[in-house]
A and B are shown apart, each in its own frame.
Chain A
Amino acid sequence: MYLNHALDATFSALADPTRRAILARLAQGEATVTQLAAPFKLTQPAISQHLKVLESAGLVIHRVEGAKRPRRIAKGGIEAMDQWLGMLRKAFERNYDRLDEVLASMEHPKKGERQ
């Protein structure tokens, strides 16, 4: 399924601490490879490689400005990930809502009896 495949790429992309750090930096605003490489002890090609992974996962986009390609965070990628976690949350909710009912039907000490 395409959606799953895309989201798989999203989560794999986010699995790397350097890529999460890059995203955190981009969340503050647009940046070039040179600007991104500065705080990390990584070469520009290494940063470019991470950016490529982030771009193919739909988390980062770039525009062309002369010789520069400033990167910025892609809203769509972040939203897809939130949506994904939301879906999973619902599946868990379903079970735990049922557990609430089970707990309510179990015998337990009346209020004031505990402590």
Chain B
Amino acid sequence: MSKLKLTTEGGTHIVVTRRFDAAPEAVYRAHTDPKLVQKWLLGPDGWTMPVCINEAKPGGKIRYEWTNGKGAGFSLTGEYLELVPFSRIAHVERMHLPDPTPDNHVETRFDADGTGTLMTMRMTLPDTQTRAAMLATGMEHGMEASYVRLEGLL
């Protein structure tokens, strides 16, 4: 059973929902404490995040740099807009590939769901082309991870 739901909404939104077996406080911390973010926000297997700057306050900077250890890498920068501890984060982010992609406005909510948390991440892209491009990039990464898994099985 897949716990994650990914849908598109209108022409410019992507909405991701996921349930976690931990309280909103913990899930929120895992999104805002750089030492914790560095452990999971990695994409395909084999990638690490040697640089993780995450200033969780309004106007605070975000800077993530990923590498596959074989010379390939990319980064993401962003700014926090608003934080409501343990329940809501609003920030803007862009990827550098190396040219910056258009800004992605992200609202992440953490709602208590029994003893766990339901996270809802709503991304707003400036236009449909940007959303299409973003989804295409995501697919490439997903495929890479699938191939890695396949290799592990063979």
CB nearest neighbor in A for B119: A96
Asked whether any CB of chain A lies closer than 8 Å to the CB of B92, the reply is no
Which residues of chain A are near B135, meaning CB under 8 Å?
7, 11, 84-85, 88
Q: B84 at the A/B interface (Cβ < 8 Å)? A: no
Which residues on B sit within 8 Å (CB–CB) of A96?
3-4, 18, 20, 40
- Chain B residues positioned under 8 Å from A8 (CB to CB): 132-133, 136
- Say what secondary structure dominates the interface of chain A: helix
A7 to chain B, nearest CB (A): 6
Instruction: Point out the residues of chain A lying under 8 angstroms from B43, CB to CB.
Output: 91, 94-95
A101 within 8 A of B: yes
Contacts of B26 in A (CB 8 A): 103, 106, 108
Q: Once the chains bind, are B4 and A101 in contact (CB under 8 Å)?
A: no
Query: Interface size class for chain A?
Result: 20 to 34
Q: Give which listed residue, B22, B39, B139, B140, contacts A98 with CB less than 8 A.
A: B39
Chain B 123-142 residues near chain A, CB threshold 8 A: 128-129, 131-133, 135-136, 138-142
Interface segment among A12-20, A22-30, A71-79: the answer is: A12-20
A39 CB within 8 Å of chain B:
no
- B binding-site residues for A, Cβ under 8 Å: 2-4, 6, 8, 10-12, 16, 18, 20-23, 25-27, 29-30, 36, 39-45, 115, 128-129, 131-133, 135-136, 138-143, 145-146
3 residue pairs, one from A and one from B, having the closest CB atoms:
A15-B128, A91-B142, A98-B40
